[in-house]
Amino acid sequence: MADRAEARDAPVVAPIGNKQASEAKMSDASANGGPVLAADGTPLKVSLRRAERRLRLRAFLLTAPLLGFILLTFIAPIGDMLFRSVENEIVADTLPRTVEALKDWDPASGQAPDEPVFRALYEDLKVAVAEKKHTQVGQRLNYEKSGISSVFRKTGRRIKRMDPDKPLKPQFVNADKDWGDVETWRVIKQFSPRFTDGYFLAALDMQRDAQGVHLRDEKDRIYLTLFWRTISLSAVITGMCLLLGYPVAWLLANLPARTSNLLMILVLLPFWTSLLVRTSAWKVLLQQQGVINDLLVGIGLIDDAHRLALINNQTGTIIAMTHILLPFMILPLYSVMKTVPPSYVRAAKSLGANDWTAFWRVYFPQTIPGIGAGAILCFILAIGYYITPELVGGTSGTFISNRIAYHISVSLNWGLAAALGSLLLILVLALYWAYDKIVGIDNVKLG
């Protein structure tokens, strides 16, 4: 029976007119016990399979343009970012002979390499200086050990005056004494492979030196601090959203439709208003000379000399982001609360529960799916936020995203930016996976 229902869903098999004939034939054939045939004489199963294949192909062809488009414009960039977080071709490409010559050198020996390595370096640098690439290598290695950039720049200026017929090692050490330092060579050797975990180590505040991989000193751990701040501030913001969103969602779900639709506008309008409009509003409201401080001074709660610092710190970030993400908490909570039958709470009360017990033991557990959905959604959105922390967060209220942007456009350490981005992406995907388990991706609704 199921097969026949499927066949009826497949309009390509045969026009409807023939279909009735085929169905008639089918029952005949079933009665005779032979294979069921379609109108054109092929067995029905074959014909059906062919039709289904054609339908699948059609569905796929409809989706293919977008799939190709997204792969090119979105997935490839993400892939490029992941690739850049481990890519390290510049050293091997610019200093190929040096890298080759350094293979036999062991940094544990405590001695700078010998003449052949310096000869290779001389050959490499001559080419690199002509192509003006030596500063790029210097800058790349400078991320790992500060000071190398100037070593390369200084040597680049001196390379033309070096005499290849005399021993080169003293001439290099003369150009910059760091060439005689084991540490310089250890860094070059360490970052000569084409792929590196150096950016990820840096993004996790770890470093690798002669003793192996270990965490940096407490005071130098900027990225772990930032990750921790991003996660904890996001958690605080999510908590605030839940605290403010739960009563409002309950009210909206329990008021008569007319009133609640009207009040819903108050939730949807902020949801639809440009992010920058809302951020500028908070910037205006929270300033030292802004409306809120003026109001507090006006009613005498604080005096003029002690205006509150509400912006350019964590308070600013928390207030503005709670406001921005609140609708994302209210809407899922509302849609879950709408489905909770009010008779359950009435039943609980008639069985002797007081208001609190009826709420906490009967109503609240039924809204947990909504809490889960709203909280994960808010949290995912919060940890990736860039604009609002950048504008109202000052230095203490910025997130990891701000650091990524800084490395892309200011410090130009793209590898580190890519590594930080990859870590953030992993975090978000893990959360999203949890969201999918709790809510299901198909339940994403808009408006």
Partner 1 sequence: MSKLPPYATPLQRGWHYAFRFICALIFLFLIIPILIIIPLSFNAQPFFTFTPEMLRFEASGYSLDHYRDFFTDSGWQNALRNSFSIAPMATLLSVAFGTLAAIGLSSGKMPFKGTIMAVLISPMIVPLIISAAGMYFFYSRIGLQGTYWGVVLAHAALGTPFVIITVTATLVGFDRSLVRAAANLGAGPVRTFFKVQMPLILPGVVSGALFAFITSFDEVVVVLFVGSAGQKTLPWQMFTGLREQISPTILAVATILVTLSVILLTVLELLRRRSERLRGITPS
CB nearer partner 1, residue 102 or residue 202: 202
Smallest separation, CB 285 to partner 1 (Å): 6
Smallest separation, CB 222 to partner 1 (Å): 17
Cα–Cα separations (whole angstroms), residue 108 to 142, 201, 267: 22, 22, 65
CB nearer partner 1, residue 55 or residue 224: 55
Smallest separation, CB 188 to partner 1 (Å): 25
Smallest separation, CB 86 to partner 1 (Å): 13
Structure tokens at 100: 């080759």
Smallest separation, CB 249 to partner 1 (Å): 10
Smallest separation, CB 95 to partner 1 (Å): 23
Identify whether the C-beta of residue 232 lies closer than 8 Å to the C-beta of residue 139.
no
CB nearer partner 1, residue 11 or residue 164: 11
CB nearer partner 1, residue 18 or residue 139: 18
CB nearer partner 1, residue 118 or residue 399: 399
Smallest separation, CB 255 to partner 1 (Å): 5
Structure tokens at 362: 């009967």
Cα–Cα distance between 312 and 275 in angstroms, integer? 18
CB nearer partner 1, residue 122 or residue 435: 435
Cα–Cα distance between 299 and 291 in angstroms, integer? 12
Q: Identify the CA nearest to 251 among candidates 333, 366, 323.
A: 333
Q: Identify the CA nearest to 48 among candidates 3, 17, 18, 15.
A: 3
Cα–Cα distance between 158 and 176 in angstroms, integer? 10
Cα–Cα distance between 245 and 239 in angstroms, integer? 10
Residue ranges of alpha helices (H) inside 33-114 are 44-70, 76-84, 89-94, 96-101
Smallest separation, CB 220 to partner 1 (Å): 24
Smallest separation, CB 432 to partner 1 (Å): 5
Identify whether the C-beta of residue 324 lies closer than 8 Å to the C-beta of residue 361.
no
CB nearer partner 1, residue 127 or residue 263: 263
Smallest separation, CB 112 to partner 1 (Å): 36
CB nearer partner 1, residue 30 or residue 443: 443
Which distant-in-sequence residues (6+ apart) come within 8 Å of 121 by Cβ? 95, 97, 98, 101, 168, 172
CB nearer partner 1, residue 29 or residue 264: 264
CB nearer partner 1, residue 269 or residue 368: 269
Structure tokens at 336: 């879950």
DSSP 240-301: HHHHHHHHHHHHHHHS-HHHHHHHHHHHHHHHHS-HHHHHHHHHHHHSTTSHHHHHHHHTTS
Cα–Cα distance between 433 and 370 in angstroms, integer? 17
Smallest separation, CB 233 to partner 1 (Å): 15
Cα–Cα distance between 322 and 236 in angstroms, integer? 9
Cα–Cα distance between 128 and 140 in angstroms, integer? 14
CB nearer partner 1, residue 84 or residue 140: 84
Identify whether the C-beta of residue 253 lies closer than 8 Å to the C-beta of residue 260.
yes
Cα–Cα separations (whole angstroms), residue 238 to 246, 383, 421: 12, 10, 22
Smallest separation, CB 181 to partner 1 (Å): 33
Print burial letters for 179-202: b (CB count within 10 Å at least 16), e (below 16): bebbebbbbbbbbbeeebbbbbbb
CB nearer partner 1, residue 67 or residue 222: 67
